[in-house]
Structure 1
Amino acid sequence: ADVLRDALSRTTASVVWDPHLRGRPPVPGARLVTPSAQEARVFVRQLDDDEGQSGDGAGLRTAARDARALVRAWQVQAVAVTLGERGALLSHGETPLLVPTPAAASGDPCGAGDRFAATAAGLLADGAFTEAAVQAAVHAATRYVAEGGARAMVTAEDQRTRRPEQPLPDGDTTADALRTAARVRTAGRTVVAAGGCFDLLHAGHVALLQAARRAGDCLIVCVNSDDSVRRRKGDGRPLVPVADRVRVLRALECVDAVAVFDEDTPERLLAELRPHIWAKGGDYARTPLPEQPLVESWGGQVLLLPYLDGRSTTGLARRAASSPVRSGGRR
Structure 2
Amino acid sequence: MDRREVESFLDKASTVRALVIGDLMLDEYLWGKAERISPEAPVQVVEVTREDLRLGGAGNVVNNLAALGCSVSVCSVIGADENGALLRRAFEEKNVGIEGLFDDPARKTSKKTRVIAANQQIVRIDRETKSAVGPEAEALMTGYLLSCCSNFDVIVVSDYLKGVLTPAVLSVICKAGRTLGIPVVVDPKGSDYQKYTGATLLTPNRKEAEIASGITIADQGSLEQAADVLLGKLQLDALLITRSEAGMSLFPAKGEAVHIPTVAREVFDVTGAGDTVISVLSLGLACGLSMADASWVANVAAGIAVGKLGTSTVSPAEIVAEVGHGQTDSDTKIKNLDVLAHLVSAERGRGKKVVFTNGCFDLLHVGHVKYLQKARSLGDLLVVGLNSDASVRRLKGEKRPLIEQAERAHILAALDCIDYVVIFDEDTPLAVIEALRPDVLVKGGDYTLDGVVGREVVESNGGRVELVQFVDGRSTSRIIEKILANYEPA
Q: TM-score, normalised by structure 2?
A: 0.33
Say which structure is richer in helix: 1
Q: TM-score, normalised by structure 1?
A: 0.46
Say which structure is richer in strand: 2
Q: Which has the larger radius of gyration?
A: 2
